[in-house]
Structure formats: structure tokens, C-alpha cells
Copies of this chain bind each other. A is one copy, B any other.
């Protein structure tokens, strides 16, 4: 096992106890990038010297007996739509190459406060929208890593760093996690400040993360959450503590529900994997057919996303014809064509969906749902894949967690998605931990199930 394959939880412990240094860890990550990134293309900006200088500063704090952060010395990749004061932030668009923000985004501040090394900026699809990026799937370079957080998912999967940050407006965290075989988590809407991130949809944009273990994802999320007066979606109420959830025991075996949602075009492999999972959880999974409204929610999500995107980016050079492609042009045109009345009607769905799901989770700990219809699409298909399996949950602001459990016919990874109640993110981690322990208890003693990503 190399240093680059350590989880963040292992690495922070080893750094705290002096067994490894942040410089060694960062060098190992840089070496892994050096070996593999020519093929993968996960990075929009990477400067080894800048990364190592941060690592050295974190090692220096430790040597001087200064406080250590929750992610002390651990390299983290940042999707290139988050502002960084010391690195360019290109938004995935040639119109913004080399753009230099004045200040760090809120999540970058939080990560630095936690002692993380900001390794570099990961490739995003243009403006975090639907056009593909140039990143390739680390499991097979003929396949897409998904989007829009392409580089963050691919980089974590390829061992470039244990943790990375993404955003999800449709399905841009959980879908690439599914395609790249990583863990992915998008917390409850309003958990993480979006200050300093490109705003594409004020209603739907949400921050999330990627990791190679469930514990790591909990650790990362606890660092990111918090109120910020600059983001009106955040709130001053107490936050769920993911690590506490991860570490706690379920009082009884959790109740799951598998919602069969007609418009989800699942592959046979994904349908088979979900059936097998439900069988393995015999007696704990209710099967329900989703209400008719769910097709309507998908349409409303598209209406809100395109309407807000077109207006947020209006006048931005990145959507000028010479800087974009037909996919972007078409979506912007769709957004411009949405009337204010149609938008208002779609917005009403958000409130309705929140109310519906507020009651729903009285009966269930989590919804089981595929993280994608199937395996990643081939790059030649010219798409980052279908976000259909996330759009409803993103619109409703629910926490969604992807576990890399399945494999498709082409041998590519596919994720299971667990969907929880708003602000019960910690309970969702508890449920996910139970599920991993339960599923893997045949293979081992159940203690290290969440560490499978390291082996």
C-alpha cells in the first residue's frame, strides 16, 4: 500500500502521530498524478511547489506543537468553479482561463482552517453544466467520468488525493461518484455555504464531496458545513455531525424503501443489482411505486435549472457562441424561453416536494436508489450521462450518499444511492454504515467495511 492510497482518516491519524508527514503524503499524491494524469486529465490547475509549500506549513505547525486541524496535512482537490485567492479559477470555460479571484470561496476557507492542503483545481464541465469535459474515467479511458464534477471524482478514484469537492445542481456529485466508483455525498440543501462558487442555479446548486471511504466523507462534510450570512440558503440552526452518525449504532435494523420510478431508464445490470440488494435486505425493504408526480418533478427541475442558469450567466462571456458548444447553446436557449410564470409554477414544486418528503421519512430511514441508470457512457457518446437518478432529490434538498457497491456488464463501477431526510444527514451516515457492515459481514469481521477503497 502506498501513501497515496491512504484514506484521509488514516492519513490525519498518521500525521498527528508523526508516522508520516504531510509533505510525504503530498509527494505521493503528486507522483500518482504524474503517473496517471496524462491519461485521465483530472486537473485544471496544479502547481507542485504550491501544494508542497502548504504541506510543509502544516508539518511545521505540528513540529511547533500548534493546533492540528481535522484534515491536517491532507490534500484535497477543488472543483474549478470555487474561487481560490492563490490559484486561477477557470470555471471550465476558455473565456475564463487564468481568471484570478480576490478571495477564497467559503469552502476553501473552511478546508484551510481544517489544515487541508489545497492540492489544486479539478476539471469541471463548462460552467458546471451538461457539456462534457476532457477528463476520462480512470477505470477505462474510453468512458466518461460523468460530470459536472469530473476531475474531482476521477482524481479521487485514481488516487490523486483522498478527498475532493464538487457541486450538484442536477446530479453532478452522485453521478460521477457512481461512474468512477467513489463514495459521494451531497448534504441537505443549505448545509454548506456557496460563497465564492459559480452560481448556476440559486435554487438547486449544492456543495458535496468525494472520498474513498464512508468515514472520510463524514469527516470532510463536518469540515464544510456551517452558516454563512453571504449564502441565504444556509441557516443558523445546529448542524448534523456526520462523524457522530457514522460512529453510532442503529437502535434497530433500519427500514429502507425502494421507490420504483417509472422514468428512470435503468440498465438490466443496474436493475439486477438493485433487486439483488433488496433480496439481501429481505424484510427491511418496502417496494413502492413512485407517485405520478415524480415525472412532473423531473420536468420542473429542468425548468428551474435552465431558467436560472440562463439568467445567472446572462452577459457572461463563457456563453458567447465562440466559447461554447451546441449542448450549452441549446440549454441556454431553453432557459431563456422559460416564462416567468412557468418558472414560478416549477418553483412551487420545490416547496411541495419538501413537504412530501418531510412526512415520508417518518416511515423509512433511507430511500434506496441507483446512483446512475447504469455504467458510465462511452466518451464517444458525447454526454456526461443522465442525472435522472438525482434530480428529484436535489430539487427536494435531500441528502444523497453514493456507495460504490455495484459493477456493470463492461466491468465499470456503479453506485448505490441512499437518500435521507432533510437535516438528518447524520442518520443517513449511520444507516449507510449499518448497510456496509451488513453487506460485507460475510466477507470479514465487519470492522473495516468502509475501508474497501484502500485495498
Q: A residues bordering B, Cβ < 8 Å?
A: 61, 65-70, 72, 103-104, 109, 112-115, 226-227, 229, 236-241, 423-424, 426-427
In angstroms, how far is the closest chain B Cβ from the Cβ of A81? 19
For A61, what are the chain B residues with a Cβ–Cβ distance below 8 Å? 237-238
For A236, what are the chain B residues with a Cβ–Cβ distance below 8 Å? 104, 109, 112-113
Docked pose: A104 CA to B236 CA in angstroms: 11
Q: Contacting A67 at CB < 8 Å: which of B65, B114, B226, B241? A: B241
Given contacts A229-B103, A229-B109, contact A238 B424 (CB under 8 A): no
For A70, what are the chain B residues with a Cβ–Cβ distance below 8 Å? 238
Docked pose: A229 CA to B228 CA in angstroms: 11
Docked pose: A300 CA to B423 CA in angstroms: 51
Given contacts A66-B423, A229-B103, contact A72 B113 (CB under 8 A): no
Is the pair B237, A66 in contact by a Cβ cutoff of 8 Å?
yes
For A229, what are the chain B residues with a Cβ–Cβ distance below 8 Å? 103-104, 109
- Please list the 6 inter-chain residue pairs (A to B) with the smallest Cβ-Cβ separation, ordered nearest first: A69-B238, A112-B236, A67-B240, A115-B238, A67-B238, A113-B236
Docked pose: A69 CA to B424 CA in angstroms: 14
Docked pose: A72 CA to B237 CA in angstroms: 10
Q: Contacting A113 at CB < 8 Å: which of B67, B109, B238? A: B238
Is the pair A227, B65 in contact by a Cβ cutoff of 8 Å?
no
Docked pose: A115 CA to B239 CA in angstroms: 9
In angstroms, how far is the closest chain B Cβ from the Cβ of A73? 10
Is the pair A423, B239 in contact by a Cβ cutoff of 8 Å?
no
In angstroms, how far is the closest chain B Cβ from the Cβ of A288? 23
Q: Contacting A66 at CB < 8 Å: which of B67, B238, B241? A: B238
Among the interface residues A104, A109, A112, A113, which one has the most CB atoms of the partner chain B within 10 A? Answer: A113
Q: Contacting A72 at CB < 8 Å: which of B109, B114, B226, B238? A: B238
In angstroms, how far is the closest chain B Cβ from the Cβ of A21? 16
Is the pair B227, A67 in contact by a Cβ cutoff of 8 Å?
no
- A-B residue pairs in contact (CB < 8 Å), sample of 20: A61-B237, A66-B238, A66-B423, A66-B424, A67-B237, A67-B238, A67-B239, A67-B423, A67-B426, A68-B238, A69-B237, A72-B238, A104-B236, A109-B229, A109-B236, A112-B237, A113-B226, A113-B238, A113-B239, A115-B237
Docked pose: A61 CA to B68 CA in angstroms: 32
In angstroms, how far is the closest chain B Cβ from the Cβ of A248? 13
For A226, what are the chain B residues with a Cβ–Cβ distance below 8 Å? 113
For A423, what are the chain B residues with a Cβ–Cβ distance below 8 Å? 66-67
Docked pose: A226 CA to B67 CA in angstroms: 13
Nearest residue, chain B, Cβ from A115:
B238
Nearest residue, chain B, Cβ from A196:
B229
Docked pose: A226 CA to B70 CA in angstroms: 13
Docked pose: A229 CA to B101 CA in angstroms: 14
Docked pose: A70 CA to B237 CA in angstroms: 11
Is the pair A227, B109 in contact by a Cβ cutoff of 8 Å?
yes
For A103, what are the chain B residues with a Cβ–Cβ distance below 8 Å? 229
Docked pose: A115 CA to B68 CA in angstroms: 26
Docked pose: A199 CA to B86 CA in angstroms: 30
In angstroms, how far is the closest chain B Cβ from the Cβ of A398? 15
Nearest residue, chain B, Cβ from A64:
B423
In angstroms, how far is the closest chain B Cβ from the Cβ of A84? 12
Nearest residue, chain B, Cβ from A58:
B238
In angstroms, how far is the closest chain B Cβ from the Cβ of A204? 23
Docked pose: A61 CA to B239 CA in angstroms: 11
Having A113-B236, A113-B239, one finds 19 other A-B pairs with CB under 8 Å, namely: A61-B238, A65-B424, A66-B237, A67-B239, A67-B241, A67-B423, A67-B426, A70-B238, A72-B238, A103-B229, A104-B229, A109-B227, A109-B236, A112-B227, A113-B226, A113-B227, A113-B237, A114-B238, A115-B238
In angstroms, how far is the closest chain B Cβ from the Cβ of A232? 12
Nearest residue, chain B, Cβ from A116:
B238
In angstroms, how far is the closest chain B Cβ from the Cβ of A175? 27
Docked pose: A70 CA to B226 CA in angstroms: 13
Nearest residue, chain B, Cβ from A69:
B238
Docked pose: A239 CA to B427 CA in angstroms: 27
For A227, what are the chain B residues with a Cβ–Cβ distance below 8 Å? 109, 112-113
In angstroms, how far is the closest chain B Cβ from the Cβ of A440? 28
In angstroms, how far is the closest chain B Cβ from the Cβ of A76? 14
